[in-house]
């Protein structure tokens, strides 16, 4: 079994920015990770963005570290 790289994983309360446009959240909007959910390649994030929108089921590829 191949060892997965978890160094790119975000942590709860970590500050992030939207790397892509999400529904109600333009790219570049700052936010904070509220919840990390899942295992291995199925990790998703719940993020509260500065514009007041809270999005769940956000992929790591859709977020940049702030």
User: Encoding tokens for residue 55?
Assistant: 């999005």
Q: What is the pLDDT of residue 40?
A: 87
Taking alpha carbons only, the member of 50, 51, 55 closest to residue 66 is 50
Put residue 10 in one of left, alpha, beta given phi > 0 → left and psi -120 to 50 → alpha. beta
Task: Name the one residue in this structure whose structure tokens are 């978890």.
Answer: 6
pLDDT tens digits along 23-61:
999 999 999 999 999 998 899 999 999 999 999 999 999
List domains and CATH numbers for the chain.
15-65 (2.30.30)
The single-letter DSSP state of residue 2 is: P
Residue 7: pLDDT band with limits 50, 70, 90: low
Taking alpha carbons only, the member of 6, 36, 26 closest to residue 49 is 26
Q: What is the pLDDT of residue 9?
A: 93
Q: What is the pLDDT of residue 8?
A: 87
pTM to 2 decimal places: 0.86
């Amino acid at each position: 079994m191949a060892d997965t790289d978890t160094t790119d994983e975000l942590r709860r309360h970590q500050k992030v920015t939207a790397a892509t446009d999400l529904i109600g959240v333009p790219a570049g909007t700052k936010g904070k990770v509220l919840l990390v959910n899942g295992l291995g390649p199925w990790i998703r994030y719940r993020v509260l963005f500065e514009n007041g929108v809270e999005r769940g089921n956000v992929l790591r590829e859709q977020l940049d570290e702030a």
